[in-house]
């Protein structure tokens, strides 16, 4: 019984480790595919307009929550109008991938 438990724990650990590297690899592609760089800049810290946020290096929890709030309408101000349309086409998994990627940018 303990061998099965240990094997399950090992498998879960490997999945978590692999997921982190997959998130990083997919993050750049997702950032590009979703057009994030069009407003926030290719490096996520040189937005095209001064009012657009520099998002590179923010915590992944903060980034994910902001995207979720914009998508749901919980965050709804003048700066979110363009993002709301974009976020409609971003899945929960993509939000996680983007948040992981953007948080790692410096």
Domain of residue 95: give its range. Answer: 2-103
Contact, 44 vs 31, CB < 8 A?
yes
Contact 31, 91 (CB under 8 A): no
Distances (CA, A) of 98 to 8, 39, 67, 78, 81: 28, 15, 10, 23, 19
Percentage of the chain modeled with pLDDT above 70? 76
Q: How many domains does the chain have?
A: 1
> In the chain, what percentage of residues exceed pLDDT 90?
69
At 2, the pLDDT band (50, 70, 90 cuts) reads low
How many C-beta neighbours within 10 Å does residue 94 have?
18
CA pseudo-torsion sign 11, 12, 17, 21: positive
Residues making up the chain, counted from first to last = 106
Does the reported pTM lie above 0.95?
Answer: no
Mind listing the pLDDT tens digit for each residue in 37-73? 999 999 999 999 999 999 999 999 999 999 999 999 9
CATH number at residue 34: 1.10.760.10
Report the SS3 class of residue 8: helix
């Amino acid at each position: 019984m303990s061998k099965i438990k240990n094997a399950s724990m090992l498998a879960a650990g490997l999945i978590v480790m692999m997921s982190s590297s997959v998130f990083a690899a997919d993050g750049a592609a997702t950032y590009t595919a979703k057009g994030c760089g069009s407003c926030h800049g290719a490096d996520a810290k040189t937005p095209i307009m001064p009012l657009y946020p520099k998002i590179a290096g923010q915590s992944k929890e903060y980034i994910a929550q902001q995207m979720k709030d914009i998508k749901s309408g919980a965050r709804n101000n003048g700066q979110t109008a363009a993002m709301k349309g974009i976020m409609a086409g971003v899945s929960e998994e993509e939000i996680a991938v983007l948040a992981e990627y953007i948080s790692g940018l410096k």
